[in-house]
Amino acid sequence: MSALPLFRSGVLSFLSMIMAALVSSAVAGDDVPHTQQLPPQAYNGYLEQHTVPLWEGDVPDARGEGFRDQPTLTIYPPGQKPNSTAVIIAPGGAYQVLSDNTEGRQIANWFNTRGVVAFVLKYRLGPEYPMPVPLEDAQRAMRWVRAHAGDFSIDPDRVGMAGFSAGGHLAALAGTRFDQGDASADDPVDRQRSQPDFLVLGYPALVMFSDPSSRIDYCQLMKIDQCDRTWRDRYRPERQVSADTPPTFIYQTTNDELVPPQGSIDFYTALVNARVPAELHIFGNGPHGSGLGMGDAALDSWTTLLDHWLRARGLYTPAEDAEH
């Protein structure tokens, strides 16, 4: 018997195991209810979370009108006066589902305790929405938060993005492929720049586009046939790094069973070569999808390191020019 069918069977079985693990820890699909929607103007610093659509009218490139076709931001205000910093959080899930508890709500709550306004992004995904649609959603989210900065006591120059796994890849793309907005746009949101002011990447899946033989290959997951090197390079963040890429904090584990650390190392190296402030922490042990650390004595310390990094960059000190 030829070895090729056995190889293909093994690949499909491995991808099936990945998806089963991701689905078991993620929340996605049309059966997930919307949270209460409130106008941004109602924000007073102490409201409970609420969800807003990224587009009020027709959603660009939408294939339907269901839950999965509508990108949103769920807003998590801190239970204290905001310190004028905001973060948009992109959960992971191999661009198939969203792990919006471990890599969404829990991360938002962590930032909230530090006075940071957090926004969890629900971006479009799955074979129905291949790149560049998820990137367009991430860019729109950055514009939306800046356009509404005054409603949330946010400094529009202190809006970062945090992402985990595939969400880390998306955040890295947002930090390397951005524009300054369209000053003549009719929509005031589109007049804002899409560049994050800082990046936080947790075990980012930066190898998804680099090599078809990697453990998680984007084109295989999305069933895309035309994935030549030129197309892949367009979505490899390490190939897009420039001196304008925002300061970046990265954490990864050596024995990550799904995403090898080489992608984080390559991205960090590109940042250093471009003289972008960057910090990389690679822990010895820890599973993929560990979120805040999952109780591991060593891995739990990554948030302490992030805490120090954010504080050292002045992101906890209220900006004097923040809108109130």
Evaluate whether residue 317 is within a structural domain: no
Percentage of the residues of the chain whose pLDDT score is greater than 90? 65
Percent of the chain with pLDDT over 70: 82
Structurally, the chain folds into a number of domains equal to 1
Average pLDDT over residues 204-222: 84
CATH number of the domain bearing residue 48: 3.40.50.1820
For the stretch 100-137, pLDDT in tens is 899 999 999 999 999 999 999 999 999 999 999 999 99
269-285 per-position pLDDT tens digit: 999 999 999 999 999 88
CB-count exposure of residue 62 (10 Å: 0-12, 13-18, 19+):
middle
Q: Is the pLDDT of residue 37 over 70?
A: no
Confidence of residue 40 (pLDDT cuts 50, 70, 90): very low
The predicted pLDDT at position 50 comes to 87
In a domain, 323, yes or no: no
**Structural contact between residues 168 and 92, judged by C-beta atoms closer than 8 angstroms:** yes
Q: Does residue 48 form part of some domain? A: yes
Asked whether residue 322 is domain-assigned, the answer is no
The answer to whether the CB of 315 falls within 8 A of the CB of 82 is no
Q: Could you count the other beta carbons within 10 Å of the beta carbon of residue 24?
A: 9
pLDDT in tens, 147-196: 999 999 999 999 999 999 999 999 999 999 999 999 999 999 999 999 99
Is 60 part of a structural domain of the chain?
A: yes
pLDDT in tens, 56-113: 989 999 999 999 999 999 999 998 888 999 999 999 999 999 998 999 999 999 999 9
Domain residues for the domain of 130 are 3-312
pLDDT for position 66: 92
